[in-house]
Amino acid sequence: MDTVPHPTPGEKTEHRPLACAFAKMHAHTLVLIAPLSAEDMVVQSMPDASPVKWHLAHTTWFFETFLLKNQPDYTAFDPDYAYLFNSYYEALGPRQPRAQRGLLTRPPIADILAYRAHVDAGMNRLLQTDLTADAEALVRLGIAHEEQHQELILMDVLHLLAQSPLKPAYCPRTPADARGKPGRFQLRPGGLVDIGHEGPDFAFDNEAPRHRTWLQPFEISDRLVINSEWLAFMQDGGYSRPDLWLSDGWAQVQAHGWNAPFYWQKDGDRWQEMSLRGLQTIALDAPVTHISYYEAAAYAHWAGARLPTEAEWEAAAADGVLEQVDEVAWQWTGSAYLPYPGFQPGAGAVGEYNGKFMSGQMVLRGGSAFTPAGHARPTYRNFFAPEKRWMRSGIRLARDIAIGNAPDDHDAGFAADVVRGLSARQKSLSPKYFYDAAGSELFEAICQLEEYYPTRTETALLTRIAPELVADIPDNAVLVEFGSGASDKTRLLLDAAPQIRDYVPIDISEDALRHATLRLKAAYPKLSVTPVVGDFTTAVTLPSALKGRPLIGFFPGSTIGNFTHTEAIAFLRTVRGLLGQNARLILGADMVKDEATLVAAYDDALGVTAQFNKNLLVRINRDLGGNFDLDAFDHLAVWNPDYERMEMHLVSRKDQIVTTAGHAFAFKAGERFHTENSHKFTLTSLARLAAESGWKIDRQWISPAPEFGIFSLTA
Ligand code: SAH
Ligand code: AVI
């Protein structure tokens, strides 16, 4: 186009970054209008679209009004332009009605280009000076503003050319629409996320303040919906089924006879689409564009999905799981365009830029093929009224995910512990949750294993020392056992001490306790057994009928090793309180030994311990509506020398998200879920533990290797 002045080579090059950014941006507007004739630039095809000539003048007016007007060395180009080219700033006075911008055949384009050159010169002078922070912010806003109009120029020109029966191309060399493939849903854990802009880089006021928001777990498609998918929606009666549409959307369908995206038209039995390259046959694998919010919402409904909220979109974009973020089409979100908590519009007329439009519009995120390079960002909030279609809009789907049933009351404590344990940086859970019915049976199977030496060793030792151990148990004594399980070791004491007439087994596993009680009653008809189901770490109360009787505590199996040091002290103190004056506690504890023996005991060849470990996941799946994939986790048993303990973990084989108890939890490949500690002891560490919890070691017996210890403690 002859009337467009191109920057002449050899002009003084600009080194200040802001002046440079201004010059580059301003020159790009002229590049965009190069394919247009003077006539193309005057016509207004609808009230929403402005003539290109008006865009050229208005963006220039913005710099003149907000930056140059009050400069001593600047004279206004033409005082009438304040009326002609103000867009919507009430604070700056009356203006040409929006729908009549196309009636401005005067001033001619040559004058507008001269106006641009005049303001350009003023801006160049201003940009050589030291700008105040406020002025610099306004220059950046002016640049971003004109970039928005660069996108509007393409939107409006496309709309104008689409009205012509000739369907001319804006520029035949415009790149074709990006090709794609159907999207795949990506599971996102949600939770507390931060969204919005913060920091020194430019952003519009509506992107701030950055703030925290809560997201339910959700899925979001990595790609945009493509034309073939849209055709399936159309063929399934997408535009003729009111059940798919919002009421206002259905009213639009009927009022305007919508039956396809905005720029689609039928040629025989194939669909064509008006584009900047002219009329083109629909590319089935290209993302669908130029659709209203109502169409996007109807499609999502039809597809069994929904639109993402803007917070979901931004969180997923920040996590890098989205493709086609900003280079294809703006993506409708399900979020109304509203101020963020704490939003403050700028002072003065410029405060009208965004804030006053915060009603009746929906947010679009991303960016489009029409957006100038470098203009968009992940926090960018574009917005349009829900019925608009002339902008380059597209659709990305999201959906809710099933997150398990709310636990019933019985499981409330379990659910709370699972949620807390899986939310922590190091995922963990108390080993007490191993012992449901299946877990207790698996533990008994472990006790039979060749590698699991503790049961065998402790049993042999107890058998040998039983007579000494029970020698001074008084008549009428009550045996109180903590974590009694199958009560097998108990028999060794009962056999040696017939003076014990009452037995109180305490266990968290109701099934184990029931079976043990039945068997013991059959084998010891004179023994009175009073089982107590419960967590022995929280206050346990003994049957009041036993008050005043001599109490002997029994805590075999090295279950003491499953506590942390702090928990062990707290437990031993509680037991001391529970058993009262002159109390005695018979404690079994596994001793530190070589790593190979230890690791084999917790990682047996038959995989029983692995099954015991994974039973925790089975239990979570069953009781808390979890969806753990047992094959996606490996059993791991490791010796931790710093803490002198064996550790069991479940190691995630891949990046995955698991849902349970109404929450979603992300696991990285290789990440560990810590399920058990089994501390091993030395004579010193055990003596210290006893001393710290108010007990004294009275006598002790250590088995030959693999070493296991029995300790008789007195209060
Ligand atoms: N004493 C038996 C069983 C040891 S297995 C033996 O030496 O072979 C550990 C036992 O403690 C299991 O029966 C388990 O159900 C129980 N247990 C684990 N944590 C518990 C808790 N917090 N409260 C009560 N019982 C618990
Ligand atoms: C019950 N407790 C002492 C057993 C232990 O050795 O820590 C539980 C167990 N874990 C794996 N194997 C056995």
For the stretch 186-233, pLDDT in tens is 888 888 999 999 999 999 999 999 999 999 888 999 999 999 999 999
> What is the sign of the dihedral through the CA atoms of 292, 293, 296 and 299?
negative
Q: Which residues contact 58 (CB under 8 A, 6 or more apart)?
A: 50, 85, 86, 87, 149
Separation of alpha carbons 204 and 351, rounded Å: 11
Q: Tell me, in angstroms, the distance from the centre of ligand 1 to residue 635's CA.
A: 21
What's phi and psi for 617, nearest 5 deg?
-70, -40
512 lines ligand 1 (CB under 6 A): yes
pLDDT for residue 112 is more than 70: yes
Distance CA 667, CA 603 (A): 23
For residues 3 and 439, which has the higher predicted lDDT (pLDDT)? 439
Can you spell out the DSSP letters for 373-387? TT---TT--EEE-TT
Name the residue at shortest CA distance from atom 2 of ligand 2: 559
Which residue has a Cα nearest atom 5 of ligand 2? 678
Please identify, by atom number, the ligand 1 atom nearest to the C-alpha of residue 447.
8
Q: How confident is the model at residue 679 (pLDDT cuts 50, 70, 90)?
A: very high
Question: Tokens representing 72?
Answer: 């001593």
**Would the CB of 561 count as within 6 Å of ligand 2?**
yes
Tokens, residue 642:
């710093």
Residues 43, 634: Cα–Cα separation, whole Å? 68
CA–centroid distance, residue 36 to ligand 1 (Å): 83
The pLDDT value given to residue 582: 83
pLDDT score for 233: 97
Of 535, 220, 548, 243, which Cα lies nearest the Cα of 396?
220
Distance CA 149, CA 116 (A): 15
* Residue 73 CB neighbours (<10 A): 8
Each residue's pLDDT tens digit, 624-658 = 999 999 999 999 999 999 999 999 999 999 999 99
Structure-model confidence comparison of residues 92 and 258, the more confident one: 258
User: Within its chain, how far is the Cα of 136 from the centroid?
Assistant: 36
Residue 483 alpha carbon, nearest atom of ligand 1: 11
CA of 482 to the centre of ligand 2 (A): 14
705: helix, coil or strand?
A: coil
Q: Which comes out higher in pLDDT, residue 83 or 9?
A: 83
- Residue 5, pLDDT score: 44
Place 7 in a pLDDT band, splitting at 50, 70 and 90: very low
pLDDT given at position 90: 86
Q: Which atom of ligand 2 is nearest to the CA of 678?
A: 7
Q: Ligand 1: does its nearest atom lie under 6 Å from the Cβ of 535?
A: yes
Judge if the beta carbon of residue 574 lies within 6 A of ligand 1.
Answer: no
pLDDT of 403:
60
Counted residue by residue, the chain has a size of 715
User: Which residue out of 614, 649, 678, 679 has the highest number of ligand 2 atoms within 8 Å of its CB and is therefore the one to mutate?
Assistant: 678
Helix (H) or strand (E) holding 710: strand 708-714
pLDDT range class, residue 408, cuts 50, 70, 90:
low
Q: 248-257, 408-417, 660-669: which has the highest mean pLDDT?
A: 248-257
Mean pLDDT, the chain, as a whole number?
A: 94
Cβ–ligand 1 distance for 508 under 6 Å, the answer yes
Q: pTM of the entire structure?
A: 0.68
Parallel, antiparallel, or unpaired for β 663-667 and 672-679?
A: unpaired
> For the ranges 8-12, 81-85, 451-455, 667-671, which has the lowest average pLDDT?
8-12
pLDDT band (50, 70, 90) for residue 402: low
Q: Is 613 exposed, middle or buried (0-12, 13-18, 19+ CB in 10 A)?
A: buried
Ligand nearest to the CA of 635: 2
Q: Whose CA is nearest to atom 1 of ligand 2?
A: 559
Please give the full DSSP string across 102-163, using - where no structure is assigned: GG---S-HHHHHHHHHHHHHHHHHHHHS---HHHHHHHHHHHHHHHHHHHHHHHHHHHHHHT
HSE (side-chain half, CA atoms, 13 Å) at 258? 27
pLDDT at position 350: 84
- State pLDDT tens for residues 377-389: 999 999 999 999 9
Ligand nearest to the CA of 561: 2
Q: Which residues contact 547 (CB under 8 A, 6 or more apart)?
A: none
Please tell me the predicted confidence (pLDDT) of residue 688: 97
Contact 117, 5 (CB under 8 A): yes
- The closest of 229, 225, 219, 230 to 185, measured between CA atoms, is 219
Q: Return the H-helix or E-strand segment holding 231.
A: helix 227-235
Dihedral angle sign, alpha carbons of residues 452, 454, 455, 461: positive
Ligand 2 neighbour 482 (Cβ under 6 A): no
